[in-house]
Copies of this chain bind each other. A is one copy, B any other.
């Protein structure tokens, strides 16, 4: 086999390809050059996981890479009908973000339970005001999304004594199906969105669903912004339908400075960072190298996305 061409959809900083150095011909592309360079690539590494360039460039002319890897858990930003229908294999960064995101969700749940945002506000006002806070042990959570991230979130919340239900696309052992979702939402103290973005999940957290949650419930989204009707969430918070929320992902990222979400009462806004612990880029690079070794040896890839469903099917 001749030296394969690896096309990297770039983002700063570039990936460290470690032991692949010299074993692949590396080319680079950005959104403006991706379409013209795709035909010469054997493999496409979507390092700029926030870009929609693949979805726009893919339905073009000429040969397509046989394998596309994205340095992200979600694949919604790159799947287009033509890629889904092709025989190109798509893999993702399954596994890298699970524990960091689980810890991030635990941080938000505990911060809400202990009223930490208000504590920081009162500190700025130099005001000593005792409040009673909540115990998280014994409360109930529902985690929507039963992939590795959702399962890691559930495991971490369970470790804190939170009684946690997982909800997924289909009912199976340990996972509730869609038929249970509304009932689970209505009884939950914590609702965690950890689902992939698919046609089934788009906009699933809407006014109807916020309306059935408890007034004392908190909502946390670490999945994809498009899972949530942001206007409905803002309305639910303003109307005190729910007690609070945290969004790490948004319909539009970065969130524009003049956007309405920054100042919604009870809403914590963070810049899509829940999975990104120190060393995460190196982990993503190392994971790609491992997959590349499999691919170069002709062995079956892991983390292979079901392009119809839009995620890596699991247990």
Contacts and interface: CB of A to CB of B under 8 A. Distances in A.
Q: How many copies does the complex hold?
A: 2
Contact of A127 (B133, B156, B257): B257
Number of chain A interface residues as a range: 35 or more
A303 interface: no
A133 B278 contact: yes
B268 A133 contact: no
A128 B113 CA distance: 25
A113 B137 CA distance: 21
Contacts of A100: 133, 135
A272 interface: yes
Given A99-B135, A159-B160, A160-B156, A276 B113 contact: no
A239 interface: no
A169 B297 CA distance: 59
A116 B107 contact: yes
Interface string A75-114: 0000000000000000000000001100110111011011
Interface stretch (A66-74, A117-125, A305-313): A117-125
A86 B100 CA distance: 54
A221 to B, nearest CB: 15
A134 interface: yes
B99 A103 contact: no
Nearest to A99: B137
A161 B102 CA distance: 12
Contacts of A106: 106, 110, 160
Contacts of A122: 271
A299 to B, nearest CB: 30
A64 to B, nearest CB: 31
A295 interface: no
B120 A117 contact: yes
Contacts of A131: 271, 273, 276
Contacts of A108: 116
A254 interface: yes
A131 B271 CA distance: 8
Given A119-B270, A130-B271, A277 B135 contact: yes
Contact of A268 (B119, B159, B276): B119
Interface string A233-275: 0000000000000000000011101110010000011111100
Nearest to A110: B107
Interface of A: 99-100, 103-104, 106-108, 110-111, 113-114, 116-117, 119-120, 122-123, 126-137, 156, 159-161, 253-255, 257-259, 262, 268-273, 276-280
Given A123-B270, A132-B280, A134-B277, 11 more contacts: A99-B135, A103-B135, A103-B160, A104-B114, A106-B160, A107-B116, A119-B269, A123-B269, A133-B278, A156-B160, A159-B159
